[in-house]
Amino acid sequence: MNDSYLETLRAALAQVSGFIYPNELELQWSILIVLYPYITGLVAGAFILASLERVFNVKSVKPTYRLSLLVALAFLLIAPLPLQVHLGHPERAFEIFMTPNTSSAMAMFGFVYIWYLMVVLLVEIWLDYRREIVLWSKSETFWPKRLFYKLLTFGVDNISPRSLEIDEKIGRALTVIGLPSAVLLHGYVGFIFGSIKANPWWSTPLMPIIFLFSAMASGIAGVLLFYMFLCWLRDEPIDMPCIDTVAKFFLTALIVAFSLEMLETLQTAYEAEEHFDIIALLVEGKLYFSMIFVQILMGSLTPMFLLGLAQLFDLPEKVRKVFYGASAVLSLVGIFAMRWNVVVGGQFFSKSLRGFTTYKMEFAGREGLLSAIVLAILPLFVLAGLLYLLPPWGERAGKESATS
């Protein structure tokens, strides 16, 4: 052991308070593990919003249907990356498929992921776009794009009413299957945390449900924001009945997620088991800003208040747009804080329940802030690519080219 290591150890120990075990000094699950449930949450939430139109026939949200699917796909493609970067050795990821370990929830997730990506999302998007893909494969002038569409037609350009009707039926059936798959995809993340019985901050059967509803809120907020931004970018009017309905579901998801979290907290406080003292210290101390201020006040109560006002009063369009946009941004930040409070917060206190460690985030390292920012922005680039290749407003363009 060299002197510089001892110096680092001394500096780290100075940040520790109370009594902790030696292996608790360093936080193993870094900001990338915060990012991972955040991204999968956005996927599940966006897909659930898409299913509103398809399965539950909420026609007013149709303008966001395709966008929701593309958002879900863009984020799903990037979702495993934070895990890969955290673990290193991305080549080993394939071993969970080669030699599946059925007793590991983490390993089984690989199958949930691949099922959701390959069977649900890709096929559903393909079926929904097939008509346009066939039309674009004939009308597109830029050859690489035309080739891309040509490949996606799989050599069949039959878009007879009967074939489209069959596509519609299968697409609907896929969404019905996809809904529980999306729930499984994100519920699993909560399940992993909820089943860590050694950690009282995590170990609760409510964890998957809390994760799921906050995921719905974040996914809906994300799609709402993308939709409003794209309308502004394309200089198109925002479909107000659509975003009014989306905002209603957004508010519902927020209320349920917030109520569940508060119920859980209240129950922990009322039961006041032996771990409660350390949790109270955690919430009043290290998590005060990120939990009380960012997650609860800024990320939950303020959006609920703004969305509630829009529901209760007949506000002008302009004000509603500002309220919806602000609520979406605030709750996206708030839900990120929630993931932070769960993942990092749960590692702050010692198993001895008598001390705290600390988390000093690197800036440029593999698990540093910079990696996290890159991984958080990456889905936006994927989404931009998907919007370029499969414009969600393409239905109209497709119809126009069909008639010309």
Partner 1 sequence: MKDISHLLRVAGIFVLVVAGFLVVRHFMVPKSFGEVGHYRADAVDEIRALKQHYSGDAACPACHKGQSQEKAQGGHRGVRCESCHGALQEHVEQPKSVKPGKPKESEMRSFCGRCHEKSLSKPPKFPQQNLKEHNPGIACDQCHPAHKPQ
Residues that bind partner 1 in the complex, under the rule CB under 8 A = 1-3, 6, 13, 19-22, 97-99, 101, 118, 123, 126, 130, 153-156, 158, 160, 162-163, 166-167, 170
**By C-beta, is 118 or 262 nearer to partner 1?**
118
DSSP of 227-246: HHHHHHHTT----HHHHHHH
Could you give the 3-state DSSP secondary structure of residue 61?
helix
Could you give the 3-state DSSP secondary structure of residue 379?
helix
Q: How far is the CB of 156 from partner 1 (least distance, A)?
A: 4
**By C-beta, is 155 or 316 nearer to partner 1?**
155
Q: How far is the CB of 24 from partner 1 (least distance, A)?
A: 10
Pull the structure tokens for residue 260: 């569940």
Q: How far is the CB of 98 from partner 1 (least distance, A)?
A: 5
Phi then psi for 349, rounded to 5 degrees?
-100, 150
**By C-beta, is 118 or 269 nearer to partner 1?**
118
CA atoms within 13 A on the CB side of 162: 1
Angle between helices 31-54 and 161-194 in degrees, nearest 10: 140
Q: How far is the CB of 348 from partner 1 (least distance, A)?
A: 17
Q: How far is the CB of 318 from partner 1 (least distance, A)?
A: 45
**By C-beta, is 16 or 315 nearer to partner 1?**
16
What does the alpha-carbon distance between residue 166 and residue 385 come to, in Å, rounded to a whole number?
28
Phi then psi for 355, rounded to 5 degrees?
-170, 165
Pull the structure tokens for residue 175: 């969404």
Q: How far is the CB of 166 from partner 1 (least distance, A)?
A: 6
**By C-beta, is 174 or 383 nearer to partner 1?**
174
Q: Are 371 and 34 in contact (CB under 8 A)?
A: no
Q: Are 310 and 323 in contact (CB under 8 A)?
A: yes
**By C-beta, is 158 or 311 nearer to partner 1?**
158
